[in-house]
């Protein structure tokens, strides 16, 4: 699945911080003791289990940040599927650098590939249905750009990126404003004409209020499958319908079959298991 590439600006600082966290004050004392100064090596980043590749360039940048003598040969790219034993990239450079950056690189590639693989598998569960899979803001602090990239690589889309790119009137907003209509009215007086407005509703009565306001989308939160069907029928194409709340890979198809346009799964970014990847040092060069 193609996705816009990440710019180095989006991840270089994060990778630098992860390396600093691991290297601490004294560096890699084990590798520095075992590898001679100037000794070079070459190794493969390898899939240990089936996965969809994501964040490969992010992870590999860990090696490059420690030395400008590192050479990278990318064998698979983000969006490619790999089976166990398949190499994703070859890394050549100072042996101390390869060993020092290994864990940071694998942590990033494994986590992001895990998100992409989970998304791919959920998308496949909805095969034959028009419903799209979207992720939420339930992301790891500091990793949102990377995790949402991984979701796109897996075939999914994003709900909203942050608090600033779309309006979502939630239950606490309704409480503060005194109701759906007043909340939407206040929003319209504040935001620009290009800003989309979505309202979260828990009941069909709240849905009717949102529809009277002419909102762009409705978030159908924690509704039963029966209420989801009734909600889709009442909306009748007047707004985008999004089902949310505790949806898992096992339940997503039944939710999608109610006719909603989107199913949103926070699970994709907060609970997807990491993919199993390894770095195998092959030889000294």
Q: State the alpha helices, DSSP H only, in 68-94.
A: none
Residues ≥6 apart with Cβ < 8 Å to 261: 130, 131, 132, 240, 241, 242
- From 170, 196, 229, 253, the catalytic residue: 170
Q: Is 196 exposed, middle or buried (0-12, 13-18, 19+ CB in 10 A)?
A: middle
Question: Is there a contact between 59 and 28 (Cβ–Cβ < 8 Å)?
Answer: no
Q: State the alpha helices, DSSP H only, in 67-143.
A: 95-125
Nearest to 46 by CA among 281, 273, 274: 281
Map tokens 């803001």 to a residue. Answer: 137
Give whole-number Cα distances, 281 to 40, 151, 224, 275, in Å: 11, 30, 52, 20
DSSP letter string, 125-162: HTTTS-PEEEE-S---TT-HHHHHHHHHHTT-EES-SS
CA distance 170 to 181: 12
Is 170 considered catalytic here? yes
Is 138 considered catalytic here? yes
- From 103, 125, 188, 229, the catalytic residue: 103
Is 103 considered catalytic here? yes
CA distance 222 to 246: 7
CA distance 70 to 73: 10
- From 138, 160, 229, 230, the catalytic residue: 138
Q: For residue 141, what are its two tokens? A: 């602090």
Question: Is there a contact between 58 and 11 (Cβ–Cβ < 8 Å)?
Answer: yes
Q: What is the DSSP letter of 257?
A: T
Question: Is there a contact between 47 and 82 (Cβ–Cβ < 8 Å)?
Answer: yes
Residues with catalytic roles: 103, 138, 170, 200, 221
């Amino acid at each position: 699945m193609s996705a816009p590439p990440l710019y180095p600006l989006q991840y270089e600082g994060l990778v630098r911080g992860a390396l600093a966290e691991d290297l601490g004050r004294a560096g890699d004392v084990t590798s520095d003791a075992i590898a001679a100064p100037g000794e070079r090596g070459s190794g493969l980043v390898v899939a240990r289990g089936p996965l969809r590749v994501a964040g490969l360039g992010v992870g590999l940048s860990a090696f490059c940040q420690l030395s400008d003598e590192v050479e990278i040969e990318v064998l698979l790219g983000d969006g490619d599927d790999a089976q166990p034993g398949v190499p994703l990239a070859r890394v050549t450079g100072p042996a101390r650098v390869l060993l020092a950056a290994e864990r940071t690189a694998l942590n990033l590639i494994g986590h992001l590939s895990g998100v992409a693989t989970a998304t791919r598998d959920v998308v496949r569960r909805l095969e034959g249905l028009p419903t799209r899979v979207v992720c939420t803001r339930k992301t790891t602090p500091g990793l949102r750009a990377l995790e949402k990239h991984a979701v796109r690589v897996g075939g999914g889309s994003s709900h909203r990126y942050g608090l600033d790119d779309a309006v979502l009137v939630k239950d606490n907003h309704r409480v503060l404003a005194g109701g759906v209509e007043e909340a939407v009215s206040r929003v319209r007086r504040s935001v620009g004409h290009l800003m989309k407005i979505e309202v979260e509703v828990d009941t069909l009565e709240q849905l009717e209020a949102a529809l009277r306001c002419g909102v762009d989308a409705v978030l159908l939160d924690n509704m039963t499958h029966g209420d989801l069907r009734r909600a889709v029928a009442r909306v009748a194409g007047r707004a985008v319908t999004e089902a949310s709340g505790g949806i898992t890979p096992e339940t997503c198809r039944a939710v999608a079959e109610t006719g909603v346009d989107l199913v949103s799964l926070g699970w994709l970014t907060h609970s997807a298991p990491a993919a199993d990847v390894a770095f195998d040092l092959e030889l000294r060069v």
